[in-house]
Amino acid sequence: MDKTDIENDEISLKELIIKIKEWFSYLVLQWKIILLAGIVGSTLGLTYSFIKKPVYTATLSFALEDDQGGGGLSGALGLAGSLGLDLGGSPGGIFNGSNLTELFKSRSMVEQTLLTPIKVNGKEISLAEMYIQNNEWRKSWNEDTKLKDIHFLPNSQRKGFTRVHDSILGSIYQNLSKGGLEVEQKDKKISIITIDVSSKNELFAKNFCEALAQQVGKFYVDTKSKKARMNMDILERQTDSIRGELNGAITGVAVATDNTFNLNPALNVRRTPSARRQVDVQANTAILTELVKQTEMAKVTLRRETPLIQVVDRPILPLAKEKFGKIKGIIFGGFLVGFLTILFLIFKRILKTL
């Protein structure tokens, strides 16, 4: 680098320092405007802190125990399989890992939870109606003939809803999904799932959180044990049917025996019905014995296939709340408006110099 380049760099640096001093002096001269803007911003921030409603967060955590191991039942299950009976016990499923957490966020589960009944001021309404009341949607609906008569009754059936009902439930679902509902499994090695529901209404956050956990838990248990329950129901019906046949066969033996009482030993043909009934009794007894064994095995399998959901922590009032504080509003509002004012003054001066 030659001497000329060094001198040019020094001139450029001096010019930059001079420009900075000029701009600083200009902003100092405008201190009254900047100060006034800061005061206005602080006032607006303070006002916003009063208007802004606090957000309540309900947290529920539960432990999931899902025993899919064969254990001592593997031999029994193998025997049942050799007889053509499927008693369940296959590991895996659609609810393993993170799939269960996504189930909580599904539209189906959220909408079914919104139709759960809850008592508010001694009146039973659905959580969907409570959400609508909290957000004061009906004030604008009263002017719309399509919306003013729309209501969500507790435990109402989804199949009877119109497109308007679906649209409203969809809007509520979208609002909850954007930040009102968080479900996570903090550690994949530990089967503990945490549900966080945020709302401006404390009671809605608490009740929706508990209702969602109950709804998903019931659906999860029913789905996981559905196959084993179906097999057990089939075996119980077969057992009852064979027991009825056996009782009829025993009665038939008794009737045939009565008909052959003091019969001439040479007339063996008359003894044929009794012998046939005896065969029926023996066959039905063997079948019933095996079915009773399989039914008991199916009951054990159903208990094993049914997962245990144990709530660890429930949301307790008062809930944790996040509030936009007054000091935060004053500082943030004053800084933001003051900064925007400085940018405006700089931009205004640049335009004048052009």
Stronger pLDDT, 174 or 82, i.e. the higher one: 174
* Strand ranges (E), 122-185: 123-126, 181-184
What DSSP designation does 336 have? H
pLDDT in tens, 258-291: 665 555 555 555 556 666 777 777 888 888 888 8
pLDDT classification of 179: cutoffs 50, 70, 90: confident
Q: Is the pLDDT of residue 97 over 60?
A: no
Identify the top-confidence range among 58-62, 219-223, 326-330.
58-62
Question: pLDDT at residue 208 above 90?
Answer: yes
Contacts 24+ apart (CB under 8 A), 73-81: 73/297, 73/300, 73/301, 73/304, 76/297, 76/300, 77/297, 77/301, 80/294, 80/297
pLDDT at 113 over 80: yes
Pick the CATH number of 55-225+307-322 from 2.20.28, 3.40.50, 3.30.1890, 1.20.1260: 3.30.1890
pLDDT at position 318 = 87
Contact in structure between 294 and 235 (CB atoms under 8 Å): yes
Cβ neighbors of 340 (< 8 A, separation 6 or more) are 37
Minimum mean pLDDT range among 210-214, 226-230, 265-269: 265-269
CB 333 within 8 A of CB 45: yes
What's the length of the chain?
Answer: 354
Identify the band that residue 83 occupies on the pLDDT scale cut at 50, 70 and 90: very low
Q: What is the distance between the terminal CA atoms of the chain, rounded to a whole angstrom?
A: 35
Q: Give the least confident one: 30-34, 175-179, 285-289.
A: 30-34
Whole-number Å distance between alpha carbons of 222 and 211: 16
Which CATH number is 229-305's, of 3.30.70, 1.10.287, 2.60.120, 1.10.1240? Answer: 1.10.287
DSSP state of 62: E
What is the model's pLDDT at position 114?
A: 92
Which residues pair with residue 123 across a beta bridge? 120
The larger pLDDT score, comparing residue 323 to residue 118, is at 118
Instruction: Tell me whether strands 308-313 and 192-199 are parallel, antiparallel or unpaired.
Output: unpaired
Look at 210-214, 226-230, 313-317, 325-329 and tell me which has the smallest mean pLDDT.
Answer: 325-329
**What are the structural domain ranges in the chain?**
3-52+324-353, 55-225+307-322, 229-305
Round the CA-based radius of gyration of the chain to a whole number and report it.
Answer: 38
Question: Residue 71 and residue 68: Cα distance in Å, rounded?
Answer: 9
DSSP state at residue 73 = G
- Give the CA distances from residue 83 to residues 78, 149, 303, in Å, rounded to whole numbers and listed in that order: 9, 59, 21
Say what the pTM is. Answer: 0.66
- Span of 73-82, 194-203, 250-259, 308-317 with lowest mean pLDDT: 73-82
Q: Which residues have a Cβ under 8 Å from the Cβ of 231 and sit 6 or more positions away?
A: 85, 86, 87, 88, 298, 301
**What is the model's pLDDT at position 92?**
46
